Amino acid sequence: MQLHALPPTSDHLTPFEAQALVLEDPRPYPPEDALHQLGQGLMNEVLDVICDTALEDVQAIITETLIGAFHSAAQRIERDADKARDTLNDLIRDFDGSEILDVEIQDATRRARAADVASLAMEIVRDAAAASYTTATGEVWSPWKGTVRASRTTAAQIEARDAIRASKARKHAAVSPGATIVAFRAAPQADTADDANRIFDALNWALSQWPDMALATTGAKGGEKIAIKWAKQKSVTLVLAKADFDKNGRAAPFRANDELIALEPVCVLTLVNTLNPERGTALQPFGPALNLGQKAAERGIRHQPVKTRG
Each domain of the chain, given as residue ranges in start order, spans 15-137, 157-305
Of the candidates 70, 43, 73, the one whose C-alpha atom is nearest the C-alpha of residue 59 is: 43
What Cα–Cα distance (Å) separates residue 53 from each residue in 42, 48, 49, 283?
Answer: 18, 10, 8, 32
SS (H, E, C) 37-87: HHHHHHHHHHHHHHCCCHHHHHHHHHHHHHHHHHHHHHHHHHHHHHHHHHH
Angle at 188 between CA 183 and CA 189, to 5 degrees: 125
In this structure, the number of other CB atoms found within 10 A of the CB of residue 201 comes to 12
The torsion angle over the Cα atoms of residues 194, 225, 230 and 136, rounded to 10 degrees, is -90
Of the candidates 202, 184, 188, the one whose C-alpha atom is nearest the C-alpha of residue 268 is: 184
- Count of CA atoms in the C-beta half-sphere (13 A) of 41: 9
Q: Who contacts 242 (Cβ-Cβ below 8 Å, separation ≥6)?
A: 144, 159, 160, 218, 219, 256
Tell me how far the alpha carbon of residue 146 is from its chain's centroid: 9
Provide the pLDDT for residue 4. Answer: 44
Q: How far apart are CA 176 and CA 169, in angstroms?
A: 11
Residues 165/275, Cβ–Cβ less than 8 Å: no
Q: Who contacts 241 (Cβ-Cβ below 8 Å, separation ≥6)?
A: 159, 160, 161, 216, 217, 218, 256, 257, 259, 260, 263
DSSP code of residue 238: E
Of the candidates 147, 158, 156, the one whose C-alpha atom is nearest the C-alpha of residue 75 is: 147
In three-state secondary structure terms, 270 is strand
Q: What are the 10-residue block averages of pLDDT along the chain, 310 residues in total?
A: 46 75 82 91 92 89 90 88 80 71 77 86 90 83 63 55 57 50 94 92 93 90 92 87 87 91 92 85 86 91 86
Q: How far apart are CA 228 and CA 140, in angstroms?
A: 7
Q: How far apart are CA 83 and CA 69, in angstroms?
A: 21
- Count of CA atoms in the C-beta half-sphere (13 A) of 269: 25
Question: Domain spanning 157-305 has what CATH number?
Answer: 3.40.50
